Structure 1
Amino acid sequence: MSDREGGSGGVPPTDEDLSLPKATVAKMITDLLPNDVTCAKETRDLIIECCVEFIHLISSEANEICDQESKKTIAPEHIIGALKRLGFDSFTTEVEDVLKDHKQQVKDREKKVSKFEQSGLTEEQLLAEQEKLFAASRARFQGQGGQQ
């Protein structure tokens, strides 16, 4: 692959440096298996190696598609194309659904307006309001004194 991953330059990582978080993979496996089934450590390690190899395979193919289109950035469409080229057509529908959900979440996040912006008040007005609330709270607390 070309240096499209946004790496820091320098020496590329070796295969030994590339892995997935073992705790995360272990949790995923545990969540997917029935409660009465366990997974040996070497099996988890093998699953991680398979996942890393799958990522290499898909990203290499996506990189080729990207190069053929004279693009400098691998796009989601390149990943979907790579899945199809490599015979993983059955994955594409779910990947497209996840991509659509992700795009919607990004749009929703961009639409969200902070409470500060929603208030329509200036920072000074909000600070004054906060001071009033603190003063009222102090007065109530001091008025209660030892009454409880």
Structure 2
Amino acid sequence: MEQLPKATVQQFIKSTTNGDMKCSNEFVTQVMSMAREYIQLVSDQANTICLENGKKTISGEFFYKSIQKLRLEGQIPFLKEIEEEIKEEVNVKNQNKARFQDEEHLRQLEEQQKELYEKAKLENYKHVIDEEDNSKPRKTLNLQFDQEEGDLQ
């Protein structure tokens, strides 16, 4: 079986300890080994249950049955919470993806961007005027911005 990415495991361990603890390489290696073994056991059991049911695709149902068969039922509530969090994240990602495929939404974002650009340009102009000394003749800097190309003319 392939190795789990060591950096990912270290990052996971660090996040669970709030970064307050340092971990030896030996500890990280043991965690990786245990995680690999856990995945192997659950996967093998889920595969067996799947085949016994005449199916070719391991589903979440077979995952939870394998957890029960391995007598790890105490983990199920925690695993269900994680499953819900993952489903929520996937839904949010799908919603965001759909929003950026919607032409009306993209048009609205473009309009907002133009408005923000104009507002920033006005604020910058006001700032320049406020900094000028009223006793000195005003010198104007005539810069024109080409919005489409963003180049100074």
Give unmatched runs, 5+ long, in structure 1.
Answer: 1-14
Q: Tell me the residue number matched to 1:114.
A: 99
| Superposed counterparts of 1:91-110, under 5 Å | 91-107=75-91, 110=94
Paired letter, 1:138:
K
Secondary structure of 1:74's match?
coil
Q: Tell me the residue number matched to 1:138.
A: 121
Equivalent pairs counted in the alignment come to 128
Larger-Rg structure = 2
Q: Tell me the residue number matched to 1:87.
A: 71
Q: TM-score w.r.t. structure 1 length?
A: 0.62
Deviation larger for 25-34 or 94-103: 25-34
Give unmatched runs, 5+ long, in structure 2.
Answer: 132-153
Aligned residues: CA RMSD? 3.5
Is the 2:10–2:28 Cα contact (8 Å) retained in structure 1? yes
- 1:145 is displaced (CA, Å) by 3.6
Q: Tell me the residue number matched to 2:17.
A: 32
Q: Tell me the residue number matched to 1:147.
A: 130
Q: Residues 129 and 23 from structure 1, CA distance in 2 versus in 1: closer, same or farther, beyond 3 angstroms?
A: closer
- 1:116 is displaced (CA, Å) by 9.1
Give the Cα separation in 2 of the matches to 1:121 and 1:27: 37
Q: Tell me the residue number matched to 1:53.
A: 37
- 1:71 is displaced (CA, Å) by 2.1
Paired letter, 1:62:
A
Secondary structure of 2:130's match?
coil
Q: Percentage identity across aligned positions?
A: 23
Secondary structure of 2:76's match?
helix
- 1:98 is displaced (CA, Å) by 2.0
Give the Cα separation in 2 of the matches to 1:32 and 1:142: 50
Q: TM-score w.r.t. structure 2 length?
A: 0.61
Q: Residues 60 and 114 from structure 1, CA distance in 2 versus in 1: closer, same or farther, beyond 3 angstroms?
A: same
- Does residue 29 of structure 2 align to residue 76 of structure 1? no
Give the Cα separation in 1 of the matches to 2:79 and 2:122: 58
Paired letter, 1:64:
T
Q: Residues 122 and 43 from structure 1, CA distance in 2 versus in 1: closer, same or farther, beyond 3 angstroms?
A: closer
Q: Residues 89 and 44 from structure 1, CA distance in 2 versus in 1: closer, same or farther, beyond 3 angstroms?
A: same
